[in-house]
Amino acid sequence: MSYVGPDFDPHQPRRGRRPRALTVAAAALVPGALLGWVVYEAVGGSGESPKQPTGASSASGALTTPTDGSTTDDSPKDPADVDPPTPTADSTSGSLKGKVVVIDPGHNPNNFQHTAEINRKVNIGTNWKECDTTGTSTNDGYTEAKFTLDVAHRMRTLLEKQGATVKFTQDGDRSWGPCVDERAEIGNKAHADAVVSIHADGAGAGQRGFHVILPGKVDEGAANTGPIVTPSRDLGERVAGSFVRVTGSAPSNYVGDGTGLVTREDLGGLNLSTVPKVFIECGNMRDSKDAALLTSGAWRQKTAQGISEGIVSFLRG
């Protein structure tokens, strides 16, 4: 996400509290592999082992930089860009037949050419916000919009192999947008069984890790999230747990108190949704270590698999 704009307001990190100070209540919110990570943190792991497996989370909450030779070059020659995706361990072909998944790749790569259009205000229920933003980028210029589309394409391949019908809110096939209200409407009109909005954050250097954003309870104007709060939390917890397990990434060290889960009531894409929906910030593009992961085709494949497996788990119930 970009620093400011619709659905992309800057996060406010908690002061004076380390993510390691986890509580039993926080741990209880997070299933599966993420719970295992939280428990490991809570019992006092410290330091980063030089012998850690590639992509594993350190006990300090930071992520390790890949050491398996994964390239950070975004060239299509990257093997992960051309090889068939690795099937998931629990995949069953056709198991999602009849299910509709909407993938919302954050931002549009052409937004920067249409600043007037994306700066116009739209109603998100609680207030008015800009239609969209350009998104953020790494210090070397790899854009969030390019990242989100790449991950979305990989997810579509994986989910369609499971029999799901997959729809995008945009595929770089329009001059700008869609606006945040239209993004929500696309999922609603598709009667989606699950919607996931893909992003990467633009926080300060040293702020690392992923987090999943859940809708809070909002009933104001055009927004009424009451019916989707509970199923969206279930979806978000499953995505977070599988993301940890597949990518080895640690939950954010700057929001979410180490749980990898954040609830917000100011995001139009969530406020206006009538179907289960979450956002995922896959890492911080402005941190050099996270950027090394985000620009790796091999790691993006793991990202796609981790998110997809969470969706599959949610849809299977």
Per-residue pLDDT, 111: 83
**What's the domain range around 279?**
95-316
Active-site positions read 281
On whether residue 307 sits in a domain, the answer given is yes
On whether residue 29 sits in a domain, the answer given is no
On whether residue 183 sits in a domain, the answer given is yes
First-to-last alpha carbon distance for the chain, in angstroms, is: 30
Q: Is the dihedral of CA 148, 149, 150, 156 positive or negative?
A: positive
On whether residue 74 sits in a domain, the answer given is no
Q: Model pTM?
A: 0.76
User: Using CA atoms, how far apart are residues 239 and 212, in angstroms rounded to an integer?
Assistant: 8
On whether residue 201 sits in a domain, the answer given is yes
Q: Is the pLDDT of residue 65 over 60?
A: no
Domain CATH number, residue 195: 3.40.630.40
On whether residue 53 sits in a domain, the answer given is no
- pLDDT category, 109, cuts 50, 70, 90? confident
Instruction: Collect all residues with Cβ–Cβ distance below 8 Å to 45 and sequence separation of at least 6.
Output: 59
The tens digit of pLDDT for each residue in 147-204 reads 999 999 999 999 999 999 999 999 989 889 899 999 999 999 999 999 999 999 999 9
Question: Is the backbone of residue 157 left (phi > 0), alpha (psi -120 to 50) or beta?
Answer: alpha
Per-residue pLDDT, 13: 45
On whether residue 290 sits in a domain, the answer given is yes
Residue 45 corresponds to which tokens in the numbers above?
């792991």
- pLDDT category, 1, cuts 50, 70, 90? low
Q: Where are the alpha helices (DSSP H) in 96-143?
A: 115-119
